[in-house]
Amino acid sequence: MKLFAVISPVGWITLVCIFLMEAVFLARSESLAGFPFLQPTSDDATVMAKRALIRRTDGAIVLIGDSSCMFGLIPGIIQEATRVPCINLGTLLSFTMAGYESLLEETEETHVPAAVVVVLNPRAFQPDLAGARRFGMLGRYLLAYGRGNRGYAPGFKDFQSLLFRKHQLNSFPEEFGGSFDAFAGELDSTAGYFPEFHRYLAPKNRETGFVSSDFTRNALARLVAHSRSKGIPVYFWWSPLPQDAVDPGYLSAANALGREIGTWDGIKLLQDTLPTWHPGLFATVTHLNARGAEANSRILAGKLLPFVRH
Amino acid sequence: MLFNSLEYLLFLPCVLLLYHSLPFRLQNPLLLAASYFFYGYWDWRFLLLMILSTCCDFALANALARTETPFARKAMLALSISINLGALGFFKYYNFFADSMARLLQSFGFHSNVGTLHIILPVGISFYTFQSMGYIIDVYRRDIKPIRGFFSYALFVSYFPQLMAGPIERFANLFGQLSNPRTMTKELASEGAYLILWGMFKKILIADNLAELANYGFSNLSSLNFFTALAVIYAFAFQIYCDFSGYTDIARGSSLLLGIRLRLNFDFPYFSAGPSEFWQRWHISLSTWLRDYLYVSLGGNRHGSLRTYRNLMVTMILGGLWHGANWTFLLWGFYQGLLLVAFRFFGRKTGFRPPRAVGAILFFQLVCVGWVFFRASSLGECLDFFAALGRFTPSYLPRVHVLVLIVPLLLMEGVQFLRKDMFSVFRIHPAMRVLFYLGIYLITMVAGKWESNSFIYFQF
């Protein structure tokens, strides 16, 4: 081949070195990120750290959902009240409902939780398929761990995103412990809860126009059906919202969806309506502060008690 | 397809492997198919537009060559230019002129019914349109004979390495190589691979990191002070240079791997000591196009100083407008014209020339003033930026440390400039060269911004 004949020795040596470096890097790094050679992004780190908790889900109450779940429910409190181990597998909104579905499916493949509680901020119903592709988190997860999802087929962009992000130099945010090891260690010690330290700032405008996509609703339906097929009860829990963050129309639309979900087979609503709380219990518009998370956990534990007491 | 995408990193090797395994007679058809795939990958509708433009220009150029009547020849040239500028004008300038007209009429108390349209600008249209127009003007001037084969002409227009953002090629250079068998040498392969690596380094590492700083600054103009405003405009100056020259390097490198040498488009422009030199070093293919087909047609410098100044101003203003439909580009072109006129006028009057290094540093500041007009999205933004230069209140700029990326660029290009050798890295010890390439690869991979950053000049 003419092309190979014109590559100089320096070119060959460089290509071989790059090939070897990449081979070692790809073989020795975590599937989703360049760790331990490079720090992951906080998004990828969350999914990696939560996957590491899957091994502790046998016989446990598994909390799954968006970041309002991760920052808003303390497994220790729920465990203390119910005497049943509890693991918080809440991740991020950008992972989308199909991501929570896949993570739970991965959990239920090898472990049998005592119960699953889907914990969501109403915003988690918003992302559609295009949004999920834009976020890229789900596609990277599916490709990295060789998983499938009926609502999302990873594309070439996901592969590109996975490959490039694995190589990316990140400085791990100080607020998450400054390194992946510290972050994962913290999540391991709290069974998946992470405290939010921001100070609440009232939003300029109240949120209006609640949207729920078919992509999200279908993923939730599949999640419920999968757990049901394994005989695992599924409960639904709205994360509270600050009183000054949403308008009444938004609340009533979200409540209508909640009621609809309550009619599905295999899922039980634990609240009558989406709760709105005093802003003093929040760190951000979507995340509770430590005091709020404590209160939220106690209320959820109380609601779960009749169903899951050891 | 973006050069800085995984698609291209797969596309190029596939094309190269096929291309070099085919005999010469099949290489051009492969290049045409690859070029259309490359362009259509973006949006197939744009491909149809390009094919339509190719058909028109091919037919008119051949008809022009067969016609002897001056009037008919002029009519054909006018028709071709009207078609090209008509398409460019519609896609690029319709909304600008419709909006400006509506505002003008409103200011006189009239109501305008001319509405704006939702028009998507076909990527690369300004580049291939100018290349086609250059070709047809050359045929009209009888400088060249028209291309007889349609597919050969189609390849001349659509050759993928330079299709999206130049260099705007001339018939003699590109077609001369496309129509003859190419000989692949070690030298071409090394230069090509090096240019791709260096172009990726400039675009993905330097330009896209500096872009974050420049974008932040221009989105928060009211919070800038003198120092942060300077940091922002320096960031943009090197962002746009590394973005566009990085693209050109990848284009030239890709083409070299096909055995075809594209023309130089950037020749260390920031080491220029004046506007005339700057335009011989910055976007050379456009500035020479404007010189040969516009400035010279207007009379160039043949009719005295005043006409020369007028011609310079007209050329630069139209050159500014070529970049985009916005008053800021017009202002940028006007400013560049003014610099050319002023340097010409005072240079001749006083004969003053500062030492080269001092001249380059001072002139770079003037270039940066121009970049304010270029980067701002409105005249109000320009004023806000200049207002920030008068403030000395505390100001915070995140990620200002990325400016340090300019240092290795200046060191590398400084050496290349002083040695007058773009490939001076080939003169160092082979082991050091391997380390240099590995270093560039590693730092670009880990610190580069690989995702979703298009090239600035694609919007033009």
pLDDT classification of B95: cutoffs 50, 70, 90: confident
| pLDDT score for A143 | 96
The predicted-structure confidence for B173-196, as pLDDT tens digits, reads as follows 888 888 888 888 889 999 999 999
CB-based contact A106:A84 (threshold 8 Å): no
Closest-approach residue (CA) in chain B for A5: B186
For testing the chain B interface, which of A43, A160, A163 should be mutated: the one with the most B CBs within 10 Å? A160
CA–CA gap between residue B32 and residue B159 (Å, rounded)? 7
More confident residue, B196 or B450: B196
Contact A148, A93 (CB under 8 A): no
Q: Report pLDDT for B114.
A: 60
pLDDT for the residue numbered A76: 95
Q: What is the pLDDT of residue A174?
A: 87
Q: Above 70 in pLDDT, residue B457?
A: no
User: What does the pLDDT look like over B299-310, one tens digit per residue?
Assistant: 888 888 888 889
Domain ranges of chain B: 6-182, 187-273+354-459
Residue of B nearest to A19 (CA): B438
Q: How would DSSP label each residue in B442-455?
A: HHHHHHS--SS---
How far apart CA B172 and CA B150 sit, in angstroms, is 17
Q: Cβ contact (<8 Å) for B189 and A163?
A: no
> Residue A94 CB: number of other CB atoms within 10 A?
19
- Superfamily in which the A38-308 domain is placed by CATH: SGNH hydrolase (3.40.50.1110)
Residue of A nearest to B8 (CA): A160
- Judged against a pLDDT cut of 90, whether residue B85 lies above it is answered with no
Strand ranges in chain A using DSSP code E only, listed in sequence order: 61-65, 86-88, 115-120, 234-238, 241-242, 267-269, 276-277
Q: What is the pLDDT of residues A186-235, one digit of tens each?
A: 999 999 999 988 888 888 888 888 889 999 999 999 999 999 999 999 99
Å between A236 CA and nearest CA of chain B? 36
**Among the ranges given (A215-229, B424-438, B439-453), the one the predictor scored with the smallest mean pLDDT:** B439-453
* A11/B190 CB distance under 8 A: yes
Q: Which residue has the tokens 């999206």?
A: B164
Q: What is the pLDDT of residue B2?
A: 82
pLDDT higher than 90, residue A287: yes
- Binning pLDDT at 50, 70 and 90, where does residue B393 land? confident
- pLDDT band of residue A75 (cuts 50, 70, 90) is very high
Beta bridge partners of A267: A234
Residues of chain B positioned with their CB less than 8 A from the CB of A170: none
pLDDT, averaged across chain B: 88
Q: To the nearest whole percent, how much of chain A has pLDDT over 90?
A: 80
The residue type of B286 is L
Q: What is the pLDDT of residue B197?
A: 94
Which whole number is the average pLDDT over A158-180?
90
**pLDDT over 60 at A256, yes or no:** yes
How many Cβ atoms from other residues are within 10 Å of residue B394's Cβ?
9
pLDDT at B248 over 60: yes
Sign of CA dihedral A221, A225, A228, A232: negative
Chain A: closest CA distance from residue B43 (Å):
17
pLDDT of amino acid A190: 95
Least confident of B105-119, B179-193, B305-319, B321-335: B105-119
- The whole-angstrom separation of Cα A77 and Cα A154 is 38
Shortest CB distance from B186 goes to which of A1, A6, A160? Answer: A6
